């Protein structure tokens, strides 16, 4: 160091011991490259909660495969989990790629990030069939009601009567991906708001523990094309109309189980297959997320009242994930050795004899 250099203005703080998770990894191990999205984009908040949730849950970044379609949302997998393999697929068709990856290696933790255009328009067919199969993955819809990368066209989730930046009014009925997913028998359906960090993080943790398809619709305002007066996907509108169904806590199975001191009837506890617990604290009316009919009715009521309902909308622990439906072997198909995938010569001889 040259002598002429002046001493630092402030004393250098002593490095604090870095906080690590149960795998001994620091939060940095869950970070990605720097975001290139617009400053203030809701998607970046979601990215930060993905990092936080996966760090706290202690998912190994090596076990994660992160996939996306095309659009602003679909750029985000580059911004988290650099240690994980990523795949930017084609527009609307990430679900099929994710399904293939899951079948090739069922031990992978697959995270898909999509947008409202990617899911509700070009990718509708694949979204619907992903849900039908119940492939194990987290499917996040970063929902802002517009096509950002192509400069602000309405998407199919734009609410009826909402205004485009240029003033055009959407006359069409929106597609509610959550309502649709519940209708299709999706085994995990949640909705949140990118600015509601605590809820977002808790729901992501639950999704990470879900053995089937976890559809997670997050309203994530587009600051450039859909954050104006007249938009129903703006920060202001979402804040004014958000109605959380419950306060959510997620207790990992490895965490000390704190005793519940809330009066009975105020809290619902749902145990996940691995022993972790979802704790839902009642806020308004009692809501039972394992009741499919009540989930559909509640969503419909909120729609009529222009309320933006958030929380764990629906959970079904009974349906088997796709890999189990297919009776797949526990270890990855991808790395099975030759002797387990190429039948012996006597098998071929048997097949040939039958053809003679």
Q: How far apart are CA 170 and CA 35, in angstroms?
A: 30
The pairs formed by 321-327 with CB atoms below 8 angstroms and a separation of 24 or more are 321/134, 321/135, 321/136, 321/211, 321/212, 321/213, 322/99, 322/102, 322/103, 322/133, 322/134, 322/135, 322/136, 322/212, 323/102, 323/103, 323/106, 323/135, 323/136, 325/133, 325/134, 326/103
Interface with another protein by CB under 8 A: which range of 94-102, 228-236, 239-247, 272-280? Answer: 94-102
Contact flag: residue 333 with another protein (CB under 8 A): yes
Q: Which of 42, 95, 145, 212 binds another protein (CB under 8 A)?
A: 95
Classify strands 308-315 and 188-193 as parallel, antiparallel or unpaired.
antiparallel
Q: How far apart are alpha carbons 21 and 165 in whole angstroms?
A: 44
Stretch that binds another protein, among 101-109, 141-149, 157-165, 173-181 (CB under 8 A): 101-109
Q: Decide if residue 58 touches another protein (CB under 8 A).
A: no
Least distance (Å) between residue 41 CB and another protein: 17
Distance, CA of 187 to chain centre? 13
Q: Interface with another protein includes 87 (CB under 8 A)?
A: yes
Q: How far is the CB of 76 from another protein (least distance, A)?
A: 12
Kindly indicate which of the ranges 54-62, 166-174, 192-200, 299-307 contains the residues binding another protein, using the contact rule CB under 8 A: 54-62
Quote the least distance from Cβ 225 to another protein, whole Å.
22
Least separation in angstroms between CB 83 and another protein: 5
Please list every residue from 129 through 168 that binds another protein, using CB under 8 A: 129
Out of 37, 67, 177, 299, which residue is the one contacting another protein (CB under 8 A)?
A: 67
- Dihedral sign, Cα of residue 340, residue 326, residue 138, residue 53: negative
Q: Which stretch binds another protein (CB under 8 A): 8-16, 82-90, 248-256, 277-285?
A: 82-90
Task: Assess 25 for contact with another protein (CB under 8 A).
Answer: no
- Which of 22, 151, 239, 340 contacts another protein by CB under 8 A? 340
Among positions 37, 51, 89, 146, the unique one binding another protein when judged by CB under 8 A:
89
Q: How far is the CB of 91 from another protein (least distance, A)?
A: 8
Q: How far is the CB of 74 from another protein (least distance, A)?
A: 10
Residues paired with residue 113 on neighbouring β-strands, in sequence order: 68, 140
Instruction: Please identify which residue in the block is written with the tokens 């969503």.
Output: 299
**Residues ≥6 apart with Cβ < 8 Å to 299:** 176, 178, 179, 182, 309, 313
Q: Are 66 and 77 in contact (CB under 8 A)?
A: yes
CA dist 325 and 323 (Å) reads 5
CB nearer another protein, residue 169 or residue 348: 348
Check if the beta carbon of residue 111 is closer than 8 Å to that of residue 65: yes
Q: Which residues bind another protein (CB under 8 A)?
A: 60-63, 65, 67, 77-78, 82-90, 93, 95-105, 107-108, 125-126, 128-129, 323, 326-330, 332-336, 338, 340-343, 345, 347-349, 351-352, 355-356
């Amino acid at each position: 160091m040259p002598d002429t250099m002046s001493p630092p203005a402030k004393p250098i703080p002593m490095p604090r011991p870095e906080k690590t998770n149960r795998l001994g990894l620091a939060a940095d191990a869950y970070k990605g490259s720097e975001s290139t999205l617009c400053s203030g984009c809701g998607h970046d908040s979601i990215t930060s909660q993905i990092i936080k949730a996966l760090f706290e849950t202690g998912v190994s970044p090596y076990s994660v495969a992160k996939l996306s379609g095309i659009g602003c949302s679909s750029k985000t997998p580059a911004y988290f989990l650099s240690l994980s393999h990523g795949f930017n697929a084609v527009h609307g068709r990430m679900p099929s790629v994710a399904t293939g990856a899951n079948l090739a290696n069922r031990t992978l933790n697959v995270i898909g990030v999509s947008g409202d255009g990617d899911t509700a328009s070009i990718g509708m067919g694949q979204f619907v069939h992903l849900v039908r199969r119940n492939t194990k993955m987290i499917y996040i819809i970063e929902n802002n009601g517009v096509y950002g990368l192509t400069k602000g066209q309405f998407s199919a989730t734009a609410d009826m009567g909402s205004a485009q930046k240029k003033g055009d009014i959407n006359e069409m009925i929106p597609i509610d991906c959550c309502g649709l997913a519940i209708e299709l028998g999706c085994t995990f359906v949640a909705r949140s708001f990118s600015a509601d960090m605590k809820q977002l993080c808790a729901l992501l943790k639950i999704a990470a523990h879900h053995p089937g398809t976890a559809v997670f619709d997050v309203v994530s305002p587009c600051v450039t094309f859909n954050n104006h007066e007249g938009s129903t996907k703006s920060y202001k509108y979402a804040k004014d109309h958000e109605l959380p169904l419950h306060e959510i806590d997620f207790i990992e199975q490895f965490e000390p189980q704190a005793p519940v001191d809330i009066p009975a009837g105020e809290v619902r506890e749902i145990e996940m297959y691995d022993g972790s617990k979802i704790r839902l604290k009642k806020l308004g009316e009692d809501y039972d997320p394992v009741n499919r009919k009540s989930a559909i009715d509640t969503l419909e009521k909120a729609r009529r009242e222009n309320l933006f309902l958030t929380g764990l909308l629906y959970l079904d622990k009974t349906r088997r994930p796709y890999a189990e439906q297919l009776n797949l072997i526990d270890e990855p198909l991808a790395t099975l050795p030759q002797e387990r995938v190429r039948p012996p010569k006597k098998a071929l001889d048997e097949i040939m004899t039958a053809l003679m």
